[in-house]
């Protein structure tokens, strides 16, 4: 459970700043107003101008860490609903979308004994770069600016509740089904072993994606990047 927030004006990446704090052996959040070298998944760059929320949670979970992105996605969704955003969905495993456009990305990394769950949420971001064309922000959706400090506190509170709940009682994946984008749709999944195509059959309770191939065989993936295929 996060009990401390450490704030910076500017860092290279809050993921790296959180790594520096691993010896504290304490669950905490690192937040920055701006990142000079924000990182996304698969070594990509995360556009991090002032106005966005850039936060890394330093965690020592007593459960399978694969579900951390799900807990973070659900906390973000609950927050966005409270702030009046609709048409919300989760693109497995780590993205939160508004109307199909990405508003939040999550990057979970293992570092020593800890897991660092980085959350990038486009709050008051007005313009995006060419690489982030399918992105959106709370500001663009709601046509108003939001108080970042209040959002940080609220998001940590929501994450803490889900984290504690998961530690005690686990999780029924059905709770998240409503938000998961692409079930029953054709996709391509890219992993370190290559690309495979199939139909999204569902999501397992441990947050693995189940994809049915052309032969009807259901395969389970814990990692990968899913692209929707248009037929």
User: For binding to ligand BTN (CB under 6 A), which residues are involved?
Assistant: 13-15, 35, 38-41, 44, 46, 54-56, 94-95, 105-107, 118-120
Our CB check for ligand BTN shows the closer of 106 and 209 to be 106
Tell me the three state secondary structure of residue 196: strand
Tell me the three state secondary structure of residue 225: strand
Please tell me the distance from the alpha carbon of residue 144 to that of residue 210, in angstroms, as a whole number: 38
State in angstroms the smallest separation of the CB of 55 from ligand BTN. 6
Our CB check for ligand BTN shows the closer of 36 and 195 to be 36
State in angstroms the smallest separation of the CB of 1 from ligand BTN. 20
State in angstroms the smallest separation of the CB of 38 from ligand BTN. 4
Cβ partners under 8 Å of residue 170, min gap 6: 63, 205
Our CB check for ligand BTN shows the closer of 95 and 141 to be 95
State in angstroms the smallest separation of the CB of 131 from ligand BTN. 11
Residue, CB closest to ligand BTN: 105
Our CB check for ligand BTN shows the closer of 187 and 199 to be 187
Please tell me the distance from the alpha carbon of residue 29 to that of residue 14, in angstroms, as a whole number: 9
Our CB check for ligand BTN shows the closer of 148 and 199 to be 148
Question: Order of strands across the sheet with 88-91?
Answer: 5-11, 28-35, 53-59, 114-121, 101-111, 95-98, 88-91
Q: b/e map of 78-101 (b: 16 or more CB within 10 Å)?
A: bbbeeeebeebbbbbbbbbbbeeb
State in angstroms the smallest separation of the CB of 195 from ligand BTN. 19
């Amino acid at each position: 459970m996060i009990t401390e927030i450490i704030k910076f004006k500017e860092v290279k990446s809050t993921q790296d700043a959180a790594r520096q704090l691993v010896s504290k052996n304490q669950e905490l959040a690192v937040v920055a107003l701006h990142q000079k070298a924000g990182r996304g998944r698969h070594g990509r760059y995360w556009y991090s101008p002032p106005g966005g929320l850039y936060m890394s949670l330093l965690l020592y979970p007593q459960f399978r860490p694969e579900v951390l992105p799900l807990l973070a996605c659900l906390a973000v969704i609950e927050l966005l609903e409270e702030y009046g955003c609709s048409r919300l969905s989760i693109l497995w495993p780590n993205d939160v979308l508004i109307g199909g456009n990405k508003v939040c990305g999550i990057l979970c990394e293992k570092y020593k004994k800890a897991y660092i769950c980085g959350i990038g949420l486009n709050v008051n971001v007005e313009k995006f770069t060419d690489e982030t064309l399918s992105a959106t922000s709370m500001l663009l959706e709601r046509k108003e600016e939001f108080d970042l400090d209040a959002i940080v506190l609220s998001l940590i509170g929501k994450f803490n509740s889900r984290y504690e709940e998961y530690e005690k009682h686990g999780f029924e994946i059905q709770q998240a089904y409503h938000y998961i984008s692409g079930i029953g749709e054709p996709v391509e999944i890219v992993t370190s072993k290559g690309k495979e195509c199939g139909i999204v059959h569902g999501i397992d309770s441990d947050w693995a994606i189940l994809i049915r191939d052309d032969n009807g065989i259901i395969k389970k993936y814990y990692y990968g990047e899913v692209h929707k295929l248009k037929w």
